[in-house]
């Protein structure tokens, strides 16, 4: 039985490196001629370190990746083929990549973790896919996953096309709802880059007579470069709180797409403590991206709610890994992470799980009177941003305890001041980004293709 909790972090992009592992044989290699070297043979990579030998393998249709060594310990590193990896690290969900970007065989339902899948609408605009048939998507969801995101088409700031996209999405999702098995949940999707466009999109969405009981919310986390720190948090929080408050009696569960910063995790816990919603999940590919960029996530107790990273040394062979998670314990040497990022990814899972647990603990301490709201804010953001974060926390709590309208009016002066003179301000009109003519043409072609499909 998979435990349900009010907020759950969802590692995304798990359909990589299936059936892979790292194993260790503890032995003295100080005089071994292969010390610090690495040899690959028949799909198995052997690396010699002073006090251990590491074996990295992956079973494929070409090689078995299995050696004849009696390993002392073995660590599986492919969470799609072995979802118990997620469970062991503390996660109850995982998100598979869209079926057209990974092998379907890498994803399956299991008893260790519930599996999400994105529909792949984003890939339509990148040119990776020309068309995704809702019927074929439903067949994949039925075969492989527990929860599927509705078939939407992100408009990348082309707000004049939002309503057109919404109508197409509703028709796509109607097919999904009709075709999916009862045990598979499809998420409707909320879009909008400003409060105005978010409201208009929801107006159209909620006119649909039959909807699922789940809603995914997109476009909440923007890059700081789009509008600065304060605008990112303010616009994201206002959009999120508007959607949650307005739809709280319609949807039973929510998924926030790509938004798992310490700040937003604290927001999820705060609003649930006040009973606004009961179940939120949010996904992130941080655990994969950091390792690909040769970064290791640091698990620092003195900064309990902020993810920090460091570059893994490439030249210092004896540099030791920083924690006692299974990946660090088996490999010990940072050189192993340089050589194989998938081992670092397992470390990232454990570090992010610990990071999330401490955020929950900090929120508990706030409600127990051991922390002030400002102190909580300083723990989930840089200290200089604590006043901004505190103001947003107060707004979110007021939405949860009163109403969005009352909280918006009460905090309007503060929130509008934080976003003054910024193109991405929710108080200053539509976003200006996303007007790339190539992307717009591709978007128009995709929309036209779906409109013809649904005739």
d(CA 341, CA 366): 37
More confidently predicted of 366 and 221: 366
Instruction: Inform me whether the pLDDT recorded for 253 exceeds 90.
Output: yes
Strand order in the sheet with 280-284: 7-11, 280-284, 253-256, 214-217, 185-190, 147-149, 114-117, 93-96
Instruction: Inform me whether the pLDDT recorded for 168 exceeds 90.
Output: yes
Give the pLDDT of residue 139.
Answer: 94
Please name the residue that has the structure tokens 């300083």.
378
* pTM (predicted TM-score): 0.91
Instruction: Inform me whether the pLDDT recorded for 263 exceeds 80.
Output: yes
Q: 270, 396 in Cβ contact below 8 A?
A: yes
Give the pLDDT of residue 224.
Answer: 42
Strand-pairing partners, residue 52, are 26, 49
- Provide the CA 409 distance to its chain's centre, in angstroms: 32
Binned at pLDDT 50, 70 and 90, residue 170 comes out as very high
Q: 281, 253 in Cβ contact below 8 A?
A: yes
pLDDT digits (tens, 9 = 90+) for 384-394: 788 889 999 99
- Provide the CA 19 distance to its chain's centre, in angstroms: 22
* pLDDT mean over 173-192: 96
Instruction: Inform me whether the pLDDT recorded for 221 exceeds 80.
Output: no
d(CA 64, CA 113): 26
Q: 172, 134 in Cβ contact below 8 A?
A: yes
Instruction: Inform me whether the pLDDT recorded for 173 exceeds 90.
Output: yes
pLDDT digits (tens, 9 = 90+) for 98-134: 877 666 556 788 899 999 999 888 888 777 788 999 9
pLDDT digits (tens, 9 = 90+) for 289-314: 888 888 888 765 555 556 778 888 77
Q: 139, 100 in Cβ contact below 8 A?
A: no
Helix axes 262-273, 386-401, angle to 10 degrees: 30
Q: Which of 2-6, 66-70, 266-270 has the lowest mean pLDDT?
A: 2-6
d(CA 212, CA 343): 38
d(CA 22, CA 406): 55
pLDDT digits (tens, 9 = 90+) for 198-219: 999 999 999 999 999 999 999 8
d(CA 261, CA 109): 28
pLDDT digits (tens, 9 = 90+) for 398-445: 999 999 999 999 999 988 877 665 444 333 334 444 467 888 888 899
Cα–Cα distance list, 287 to 75, 139, 351, 384 (Å): 17, 29, 9, 27
Instruction: Inform me whether the pLDDT recorded for 358 exceeds 70.
Output: yes
Instruction: Inform me whether the pLDDT recorded for 455 exceeds 70.
Output: yes
pLDDT digits (tens, 9 = 90+) for 229-245: 556 678 889 999 999 99
Binned at pLDDT 50, 70 and 90, residue 18 comes out as low
Mean pLDDT of the chain: 86
Give the pLDDT of residue 39.
Answer: 92
Domains by residue range for the chain, with CATH: 7-13+80-288+391-418 (3.20.20.105), 20-76 (no CATH)
Q: What percent of the chain has pLDDT over 70?
A: 86
* pLDDT mean over 254-271: 93
Long-range own/partner contacts, residues 269-273 (CB < 8 A, 24 or more apart)? 269/6, 269/7, 269/359, 269/360, 269/363, 270/363, 270/393, 270/396, 270/397, 270/400, 271/241, 271/244, 271/396, 271/397, 271/399, 271/400, 272/6, 272/7, 273/363, 273/367
């Amino acid at each position: 039985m998979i435990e349900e909790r009010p907020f759950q972090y969802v590692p995304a992009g798990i359909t990589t490196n299936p059936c892979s592992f790292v194993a260790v044989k503890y032995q003295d290699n100080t005089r071994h001629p292969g010390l610090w070297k690495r040899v690959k043979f028949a799909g198995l990579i052997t690396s010699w370190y002073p006090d251990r030998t590491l074996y990295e393998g992956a079973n494929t249709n070409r090689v078995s990746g299995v050696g004849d060594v009696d390993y002392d310990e073995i660590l599986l590193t492919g969470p799609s083929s072995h979802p118990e990896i997620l469970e062991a690290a503390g996660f109850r969900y995982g998100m598979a990549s869209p079926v057209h970007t990974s092998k379907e065989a890498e994803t399956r339902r299991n008893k260790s973790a519930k599996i999400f899948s994105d529909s792949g609408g984003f890939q339509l605009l990148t040119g990776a896919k020309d068309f995704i048939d809702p019927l074929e998507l439903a067949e994949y969801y039925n075969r492989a996953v527990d929860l599927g995101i509705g078939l939407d088409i992100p408009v990348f700031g082309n707000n004049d096309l939002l309503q057109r996209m919404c109508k197409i999405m509703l028709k796509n999702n109607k097919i999904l709802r009709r075709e999916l098995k009862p045990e598979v949940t499809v998420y409707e999707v909320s879009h909008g880059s400003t409060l105005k466009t978010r409201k208009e999109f929801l107006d159209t969405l909620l006119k649909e007579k039959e909807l699922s009981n789940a809603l995914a919310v997109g476009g909440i986390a923007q890059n700081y470069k789009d509008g600065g720190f304060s605008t990112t948090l303010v616009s994201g929080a206002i959009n999120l709180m508007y959607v949650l408050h307005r739809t709280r009696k319609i949807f039973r569960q929510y998924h926030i797409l790509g938004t798992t910063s310490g700040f937003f995790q604290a927001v999820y816990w705060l609003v649930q403590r006040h009973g606004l919603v009961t179940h939120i999940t949010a996904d992130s590919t941080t655990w994969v991206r950091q390792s690909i960029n040769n970064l290791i996530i640091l698990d620092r107790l003195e900064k309990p709610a902020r993810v920090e990273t460091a570059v893994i040394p490439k030249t210092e062979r004896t540099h030791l890994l920083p924690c006692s998670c299974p990946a660090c314990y088996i490999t010990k040497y940072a050189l192993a992470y340089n050589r194989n990022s998938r081992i670092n990814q397992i470390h990232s899972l454990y570090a992010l799980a610990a990071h999330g647990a401490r955020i929950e603990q900090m929120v508990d301490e706030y409600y127990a009177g051991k922390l002030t709201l400002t102190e909580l804010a300083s723990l989930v953001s840089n200290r200089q941003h604590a006043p901004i974060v505190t103001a947003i926390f107060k707004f979110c709590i007021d939405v949860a305890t009163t109403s969005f309208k009352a909280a918006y009016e009460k905090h309007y002066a503060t929130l509008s001041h934080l976003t003054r003179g910024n193109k991405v301000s929710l108080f200053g009109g539509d976003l200006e980004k996303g007007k790339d003519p190539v992307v717009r043409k591709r978007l128009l072609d995709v929309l036209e293709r779906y409109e013809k499909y649904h005739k």
